[in-house]
Amino acid sequence: MQRTVLIMAGGSGERFWPLSRRTKPKQLLKLVSPDKTMLDEAIERVAPLIAPEHIFIITSEALQPIMRENLSLLPPENIIAEPLKRNTAPCIALGAAYIAERYPDLKPHEISIAVLTADHFIENTEIFRASVDAALTHAEKTGDIVTFGVQPSRPATGYGYIEIAAALKSSVSVNSLEALPVESFHEKPSVETAQEFLRQGRFFWNSGMFFWRLDTIIGGLERHLPDVGLKIKDLRSALRAKTREVSIGAPQGTNAIFKVMPDISIDYGLMERAHHVAVVCVDFGWDDVGSWDALERVHEPDEAGNINVGGSLLLDSKNCIVMNSVGDDVLSVAAIGIENLVIVATKDGILVCPKDRVQDVRKVVTALREQSGEKFV
């Protein structure tokens, strides 16, 4: 069995303005480690399990040359450009087509794929790799679609949830690496519903990571999302004999195919419709790092509860998140008597907002785009 990894890395990460920009989105930021981007970390944590020559990145045409220049671990031809932004289902279809053509001597049931995230925090990498191995093993043996269900630590409303049957609740052992049948998927809940999910103990966060054989994902998309699945043959024809070429931009011929595909996520298009879906329940310290307040969960605060990245001066201040990305030898950031604020300083932008308004940072990006075009975004 040939194991591969597909990492989707085309997102814009607008909630991390002013640090994130069109040419430097969230996955290319050093939000957790001082010297590694989140994408670097994503590759390095899985590389001991699956060699870099079998790890593939799908990103935008604009980001492809930047990633090829900076991701020295991967062969440059393994960094693939999407012709258009069409959500995760078409993205995964392109990845499946590319992987099928990359291994022409293997049959689809002889190839498995781990679809992983480019920009999440994972604390325990050893448990993570053991979980990936278990999920792939189950997918390879059974032909099931497998996903990770993360043990919830709080009633989060920003994630979807995966439900297992009530009869299985007593048999759930987090990190046992056992795959259990999925009862249903649930959209992002209200606070009250999330609290009830947490109380019941059989609902897990949907991590957005998936594991399947190549024949499983192609067959599943053809059956449940034919507007995408039936285009994989066309994508393969466009890619044929070009998967080892180091060319810039999306492969010729893929643009026209993507234009007629629906803009739909893999969750809506396949996961919620498919049969034989299993979940491996895990707790390896996971966070999707979706907005500035997530830094409180991935960094140690000081004695006043502040997250201080970049050497800012905070006097009589508490429970703040302050990031000076310019460096204290260039720009001095100081705050006095503030509470519950986010302050981010870059060479050409400064953000100040209450912590409970971090989800509105996208509105800043929209307003700046309307006011100044793409200059500051």
pLDDT above 90: residue 106: yes
pLDDT given for residue 309 in this prediction:
93
| Domain 2-287 fold | Spore Coat Polysaccharide Biosynthesis Protein SpsA; Chain A (3.90.550)
What percent of the chain clears pLDDT 90, i.e. is strictly above it? 81
Question: What pLDDT, on a 0 to 100 scale, did the predictor assign at position 170?
Answer: 55
pLDDT of residue 22: 86
Provide the pairing of β-strand 321-324 with 341-346. Answer: parallel
Provide the β-strand partners of residue 113: 4, 212
Q: Residue holding tokens 């298009």?
A: 269
Model confidence at 264, pLDDT cuts 50, 70, 90, reads very high
pLDDT > 70? residue 257: yes
Helices (H), the chain: 38-46, 64-70, 88-102, 125-142, 191-200, 214-224, 226-229, 232-239, 254-259, 266, 295-298, 361-372
179 closest CA partner among 49, 277, 111, 286 = 277
Rounded CA separation 158/270 (Å)? 21
Give residue 32's pLDDT: 93
Average pLDDT for the chain? 92
SS3 82: strand
Could you give the CA distance from residue 117 to residue 202 in angstroms, rounded to a whole number? 24
297, 320 Cβ separation under 8 angstroms: no
89: pLDDT confidence band, cut at 50, 70 and 90?
very high
d(CA 208, CA 115): 8
DSSP assignment of 198-238 = HHHS-EEEEEEEEEEEHHHHHHHHHHH-HHHHTTHHHHHHH
* Per-residue confidence (pLDDT) for residue 328, from 0 to 100: 73
Q: pLDDT tens, 24-83? A: 999 999 999 988 999 999 999 999 999 999 999 999 999 999 999 989 889 999 999 999
The model's pLDDT over 294-351, given as tens digits with 9 standing for 90+, comes to 999 999 999 999 999 998 999 999 999 999 998 777 888 899 999 999 999 999 899 9
The percent of residues in the chain predicted with pLDDT above 70, rounded, is 96
> Which pLDDT tens digit goes with each residue over 163-204?
998 767 555 566 678 899 999 999 999 999 999 999 999 999
Domain definitions of the chain by residue range: 2-287, 294-372
Residue 248, pLDDT > 80, answer no
Q: pLDDT tens across 7-21, in order?
A: 999 887 789 999 999
Task: Provide the whole-model pTM.
Answer: 0.93
CA distance 86 to 103: 25
Question: 3-class SS at 264?
Answer: coil
Q: What is the pLDDT of residue 171?
A: 55
pLDDT at 172: 59
Instruction: Please name the amino acid found at residue 276.
Output: H
- Residues forming a β-bridge with 56: 6
